[in-house]
Structure 1
Amino acid sequence: MASIKQRPDGVWRARYVGPDGKEYAKHAKLKRDAQAWLDDATAAMQAGTWVDPRTSKMTVGEWLDTWEAGYAGNRPGTVKSAATHLKLIRAKFGTRQLRSIRSSDVKTWMAELAEKYARSYVYAIHRRLAQVFTDAVHDGVVARSPVSRRTSPPAASQRPYVATTAQVWALYDALPRAYRNMLLLGAFAGLRPGEIAALKRSDVDWAAPSIEVRAQHDGAELKTEASAGVVPIPGDLATMLKADAGESYIVPGVFGRGVTAWHLNDVWATTRATIEGLPEGFRIQDLRHYFASLLIAAGLDIKVVQTRMRHASPVITLRTYAHLWPDTDDTSRAAVASVLSARKSPPGADPEGSSLASAD
């Protein structure tokens, strides 16, 4: 519904009802100006590019304020990560109008970031920017997002470094005894640093050896709902953990009162630097890759590996570790050959392959 009428004072009033069901109006001294405004709005609605005129001049910084307030209900770690990304986005685009950002602007910025940060981090910032603009489109603040696959930087490599068994034991021997359980929990149970720091003696079933993952350090929530669960462990591992465990925590630290994930990372960085062949950025978290490689090498299927890694979806497991599953030419040949062999000699067939008829 749209109309133009002249008021008693001679001013022309154009009005229409937007896609959101609300009425919008503009006053102009000349009828042609009012008509031009109405025509533009009508064309935008027909093309699907209409946005609320009250927010069309919103800056990136103003929208980020709104977006961040709505995002605050997520997990603390997730919110903290987003805040770091938003700080960079504000610095680059904060004062510009949201609708003024073009795909070329995004591509240029990604190239600038690639000179300062790791590929994985630049990719994460691009994903955050895409999330911010997608929500802006959904709220009707902008007509379309300038962020797409065309503006995306290269994704980080999905093939993480997997330490050798020799490197794992070298790390174990090099760590102070009060921190050795950190390596055992990461490499042979797949725990994350925050989970390692929070693990208590009461979380371990010593009789039927298993570890129940309940929380991260400082009471932080687990990464995902799938992160909570029971990890079965062999008796030998339970014995090693018990030997160096503190009165309350499995990784006691030098004072026996437990540690924080930050302190674990500090001790780890010092120790890692002494091990030959390990990448400079090799983290405690990367011990999980070694754990996954052990499970896959043992012949466990994708569902079991997903469960033991406590991934939310098998897609995550495959995306990270698909290359570790055996897929050789000989394996595929053997699979096909077994079916062909069965066809050549079906039950009840003679050597020539014809059915054996019984004599009457």
Structure 2
Amino acid sequence: MMARKPQRRREFGSVRQTESGRFQARYWAPDGKRRYAPKTFETKTEATTWLALTQADIERKHWTDPDAGAVNFEDFARKWVNERGLAATTEDLYTRLLTRHIAPTFGTWDLDEIQPADVRVWRAERLKATNGAKTTVAKSYRLLKAILQTAVDDDLLKSNPCRIKGAGKEEADERDVAEVEQVYALAEAIGPRWRIMIFLGAFASLRPEELAELRRSDIDVDEGVVWIRRAAPELTNGKKVIGDPKSRAGKRAVYLPDFLVPELRRHLQWFAEKEPDGLLIVGERGAALRRSSFGRKWRKARIAVGLPDNFRFYDLRHTGNTLAADSGAKLKDLMVRAGQSSPKAQLIYQHSKKKHQRKLAKSIDAEVRQQRQEAAEQLQAEERKHSG
């Protein structure tokens, strides 16, 4: 009986010459399938070298399925957003950035088609298209990078093509700070019903979404304090989402300068809903605050006062923050008052005491009264000069 010839061990890969004269490399992949190099080679040596590098990647467990990245980017990105369990406002932001700034370029591409050079070109084009809106482009870049990093983690890509150093860092332009007299002029221009929003935005550092959900039960006029417990931001589609403030630090007690207390009393008597838990801010017909309707009033008042077109209601917070900082307030007190949070600063400011906040409110009160008095004296001096 003849001895059976030993079975030949299957070779890792092979090289063959095609009819065109170029060389094709093929190999057995870890998934048991025969795979081919993504291109043919001019020489057999080049093809053999490619095989050796591929085999080394497999042995080091660096190999990825070359077809894994053939996944539509927009499908993957939309799924990425939906699976994150994000807050409604964050999901709204990501969806808006994806729709307006990322998908128009990469929406029809497969993941593995996006190369570092493509990302650089996309970013440069976004900066031009948005007239240098660096903050928006930085947010869009960070989102794109995060989505593609998940593709790397899922073994759909070998590496992340987002490699531009510092591209995700937000460097917002310096914002204008309204002077005290400009704040009062805005309050006069916007009318009696809405003036409390101007004052609370500027001198109490309240966000518009916090004002939208502020209620009688959140206000202690005798103590001169406003409790921020909820917020009602509006999404791009106009839907209001009532929930917690922007961050954990957003839940806070804001002590008011004394000059604001009469303004608040008057507003509660004249304009707020009468129920014990009624809204502080409602429109002429009793409807809750809406961004669109208030926005029209805000723009008219801003134009009347002569503030820049890019001056937002949100920028009023800078006035109160600046006044508080000029009064010598400590960083932790400033962050508590503004409801700001960050991983590094959280432990620093969360222990700010009630007496510090009350002192801070009194400092703002004194500074505003002084500036108002100086403005009145200057006006009187000018009137005497002209009359003389």
Q: Which interval holds the TM-score relative to the shorter structure?
A: 0.7 to 0.9
Alpha-carbon separation, structure 2, partners of 1:59 and 1:166? 55
* DSSP-derived class of the 1:166 partner: helix
Alignment partner, residue 366 of structure 2? none
Contact 2:176/2:315 (8 A) holds in 1: yes
Partner-residue secondary structure (3-state), 1:311: coil
User: CA offsets per residue over residues 291-350 of structure 1, 9 Å max, x none?
Assistant: 110110000011111111111128689xxxxxxxxxxxxxxxxxxxxxxxxxxxxxxxxx
What residue is the counterpart of 1:138 in the other structure? Answer: 153
Taking the TM superposition and a 5 Å limit, the aligned residue runs for 1:299-338 are 299-313=328-342
Which of 290, 294, 300 lines up with 2:323 in the alignment? 294
Inter-partner Cα distance in structure 1 for 2:320 and 2:345: 15
Which is further off, 290-299 or 209-218? 209-218
After TM superposition, the score normalised by the length of structure 2 is 0.69
Q: CA deviation at 1:36?
A: 9.4
SS at the partner of 1:211?
Answer: strand
Shift of 1:235: 3.5
Report % sequence identity: 27
Q: What's 1:266 paired with?
A: 296
Query: In the alignment, residue 100 of structure 1 is paired with which amino acid?
Result: E
Which of the residues 225, 249, 257 maps onto 1:210?
Answer: 225
Listed one character per residue, the Cα deviations across residues 233-291 of structure 1 (whole Å, up to 9, x for unaligned) are 13431221120231332223223443123332232122111112x22111111111111
Alignment check: 8 A CA contact 1:99 1:142 kept: yes
2:191 corresponds to: 176
Equivalences, count: 297
**1:136-160 deviation per Cα after TM superposition (whole angstroms, max 9, x unaligned):** 2222211111113348288433532
Distance 2:53 2:214 in 1: 62
Check whether the contact 1:181–1:250 (CA below 8 A) recurs between aligned residues.
Answer: no
Change (3 A) 1:28 1:119: closer
Q: Is 2:93 the counterpart of 1:81? A: yes
Q: Is the 8 A contact 2:229 2:252 kept in 1?
A: yes
The question of whether the paired residues in 2 share the 8 Å contact of 1:306 and 1:314 is answered with: no
1:305 to 1:42, Cα distance in 2 relative to 1, 3 A:
farther
Q: Deviations 1:152-193 (Å, cap 9, x if unpaired)?
A: 288433532211112111111111211111111101111111
Whole-angstrom distance in 1 between the partners of 2:79 and 2:287: 42
1:343 counterpart residue number: none
| Equivalent in the alignment of 2:308 | 279
Aligned partners of 2:205 and 2:320 also within 8 Å: yes
* RMSD, aligned CA: 3.0
Partner of 2:261: 238
One-letter identity of the residue aligned with 2:282: P
What secondary structure, in the 3-state scheme, does the structure 2 residue paired with 1:149 have?
A: coil
Tell me which residue corresponds to 1:251. Answer: 281
Q: Which 5+ residue runs of structure 1 have no aligned equivalent? A: 7-11, 17-23, 318-360
Partner of 2:28: helix, strand, or coil? strand
- Specify whether residues 27 and 135 from structure 1 end up closer, same or farther in structure 2 by C-alpha distance, changes over 3 A only: closer
Asked if 1:61 corresponds to 2:74, the answer is yes
TM-score normalised by the chain length of structure 1: 0.74
2: CA distance, partners of 1:47 / 1:165: 66
Aligned to 2:137: 122
Give yes or no for contact 1:193–1:264 (8 Å, CA) kept in 2: no
Any conservation in 2 of the 1:197–1:258 contact (CA below 8 Å)? yes
Q: Could you report, residue by residue, the CA deviation over 1:187-242 in whole angstroms, capped at 9, with x for unpaired residues? A: 11111111111111111011211111111224244211221111111343122112
Match in the other structure for 1:164: 179
